[in-house]
Amino acid sequence: MAGDWSSSSSTAAKGVARRLARHHQAVLGFLLGFFVSVVLYTTVSGLLRFTNTLVILQPTPGERTEQSARTAPPLVFSTPNHSTEVNDAGGKLDEVLIRQELGQEGDGNNRSNVKHGAPRKPICDLSDPRYAICEISGDARAIGANSTVYHVPPADEHGPDGLEWAIRDQSRKDLGYIDKVNVKTLSAAQSRVAPECTSRHAVPAIVFAMNGLTSNPWHDFSDVLIPLFITTRAYDGEIQFLVTDLRPWFVDKYRLILTNLSRYDIVDFNKDTGVRCYPHIVVGLRSHGDLSIDPARAPHNYTMLDFRMYIRDVFSLPPEDQGIPYKEANKKNKNGGTSMEEQKPRLMLINRAGIRKFVNLPEISAAVQAAGFEVLIMEPLRDMRLEEFSRQVDSCDVLMGAHGAALTSFFFLRTNAVMLQVVPWGLEREAMSYFGVHAKDMMLQDIEYSITVEESTLYEKYGKDHLAVRDPEALRKQGWQLLRKYLWDEQDIRLNVTRFTPTLHQLL
């Protein structure tokens, strides 16, 4: 079974790795500023490659019909008194419901306040150190072609001046790759000439970017999918995605998650020429930190454990109290036989193709088998079909790999399954903060095997006197560029299976 997908595209993997390596050099300079936040996963980024030949998602006529059927009678935006009334009946009610969903009722959304022109909650909130977000309610109009979202306030709320913001519509407000989206609230004079709606929608919309550091699964989840979950899960699918820098591979790879979070077609916002009108538009994605959810700030107090369970649900993995399918099948076939085969725990061994690879993979695989495990070897590929892959991970008791983005597939593991992280020389801190703590948060067992310097290829490449070999903490103090060059990018792993075997026995 492992062979099916492990052998399939190693050539492709090498091509990707080469491209990524080139790209990696191009972006190095760019990343200089953000030590902790941005950088650490570099097998990344969809920046260079999309030709956009795969899918161009545009709303279908069906979507419009369905949506307008749920809409109040068409609004006439040039007569503000009418639109206010209708919004009060429809849009504001939606907004109240949404705010209740999000646990934000009472914070400035007092309808009588709004009517009497008292200060409203600001549309854009730039206060979080990590992300910026705008929420527009009432009459919100999105024009993809010029990346602008307008708020057309009701007549009695117009200020003399429009306000304007420009924010990056992903979860990292400092990530320079993300183009900014403009958010403008119109003055009375501007409202009279506001762009007219070409389509109207009854549900809210959210504008967010799919580029940035995506294509590395850690970033796919940390920068987009978890923030999208935090920001939109409470809408229960009743929200439309207006995506800037749409990445067809991303839509395809994560379509089970995306179609669960939104029932509506995804709009390729940069190519959208209409003026889309919604009762509510969110611009940007909230994030609570790297690969995390802070229950105190999340709707329904979601946790990372909830997120893992949600992912398992969305991928239709069996309930955790149900036996692992292949083991159950073995039991039935053997008809009660006590063959050891069926009892063997299964370990998925991640075979990284590029940096931080195991140079003695066959030896490691043999040692794992000798210790009593069945081994599945998996090569992470960006365009991997997650449906089948998630079932493979679900069937494993242990997910083992060198520190790196492929460990992000730990979302598919069952409660109490083990993430066995092989920690490259000098990277204990990163191993814990990027994976270890999150595994624990999700009720997985987190085991780290920290290699000795002799197990790092840095030792044979640079000799025992090189700073990276002798004192990685001192190297770290000289700045992340060096840390990255040696510990992240130049280091491969030759696992000492004699030293490693007791860790395997400990797992059993």
Residues that bind ligand NAG (CB under 6 A): 76, 79, 81-82, 110, 112-113, 143, 145-146, 148, 195, 237, 260, 263, 295-296, 301, 313-314, 454, 496, 498-499
Contact 493, 457 (CB under 8 A): yes
Looking at the Cβ atoms of 293 and 402, the one nearer to ligand NAG is 293
Looking at the Cβ atoms of 1 and 145, the one nearer to ligand NAG is 145
Looking at the Cβ atoms of 239 and 393, the one nearer to ligand NAG is 239
Q: What are phi and psi of 493, to 5 degrees?
A: -125, 125
Question: Cβ of residue 82: shortest distance to ligand NAG, in angstroms?
Answer: 3
Contact 307, 442 (CB under 8 A): yes
Question: Cβ of residue 24: shortest distance to ligand NAG, in angstroms?
Answer: 31
Q: Which of 492, 496, 500, 498 is nearest to 358 (CA)?
A: 492
Q: How many CB atoms lie within 10 A of CB 306?
A: 17
The full DSSP string for 116-164 is: TTPPPPPSEE--SSS--EEEEEEEEEEEGGGTEEEE---GGG--SS-EE
The CA dihedral of 181, 186, 191, 194, to the nearest 10 degrees, is -10
Question: Cβ of residue 494: shortest distance to ligand NAG, in angstroms?
Answer: 8
Looking at the Cβ atoms of 20 and 143, the one nearer to ligand NAG is 143
Q: Which long-range contacts (CB under 8 A, 24 or more apart) does 306-313 make?
A: 307/226, 307/229, 307/411, 307/442, 308/411, 308/413, 308/442, 308/443, 308/444, 310/229, 310/233, 311/257, 311/411, 311/412, 312/394, 312/411, 312/412
CA–chain centroid gap for 37, Å, is 15
Contact 394, 413 (CB under 8 A): yes
Distances (CA, A) of 219 to 327, 353, 402: 33, 18, 17
Question: Cβ of residue 357: shortest distance to ligand NAG, in angstroms?
Answer: 19
Looking at the Cβ atoms of 313 and 473, the one nearer to ligand NAG is 313
Question: Cβ of residue 308: shortest distance to ligand NAG, in angstroms?
Answer: 12
Looking at the Cβ atoms of 434 and 459, the one nearer to ligand NAG is 459
Looking at the Cβ atoms of 82 and 271, the one nearer to ligand NAG is 82
The CA dihedral of 249, 439, 507, 355, to the nearest 10 degrees, is 50
Rg from Cα positions in the chain: 25
Question: Cβ of residue 94: shortest distance to ligand NAG, in angstroms?
Answer: 17
Question: Cβ of residue 274: shortest distance to ligand NAG, in angstroms?
Answer: 9
Looking at the Cβ atoms of 336 and 362, the one nearer to ligand NAG is 362
The full DSSP string for 280-348 is: EEEES----STT---GGGSGGG--HHHHHHHHHHHTTPPPTTSPPHHHHHHHHHHTT---GGGG--EEE
For tokens 């990530």, name the residue.
Answer: 175
Question: Any idea what the Cα angle at residue 68 is, between residues 66 and 73, rounded to 5°?
Answer: 150
Q: Which residue is nearest to ligand NAG (CB)?
A: 237
Q: Which of 207, 193, 199 is nearest to 124 (CA)?
A: 207
Question: Cβ of residue 230: shortest distance to ligand NAG, in angstroms?
Answer: 13
Question: Cβ of residue 290: shortest distance to ligand NAG, in angstroms?
Answer: 21
Q: What are phi and psi of 250, to 5 degrees?
A: -70, -45
Question: Cβ of residue 461: shortest distance to ligand NAG, in angstroms?
Answer: 16
Looking at the Cβ atoms of 387 and 454, the one nearer to ligand NAG is 454
Looking at the Cβ atoms of 224 and 257, the one nearer to ligand NAG is 257
Question: Cβ of residue 394: shortest distance to ligand NAG, in angstroms?
Answer: 15
Contact 495, 422 (CB under 8 A): yes
Question: Cβ of residue 147: shortest distance to ligand NAG, in angstroms?
Answer: 9
Looking at the Cβ atoms of 152 and 378, the one nearer to ligand NAG is 152
Contact 454, 463 (CB under 8 A): no
Looking at the Cβ atoms of 31 and 368, the one nearer to ligand NAG is 368
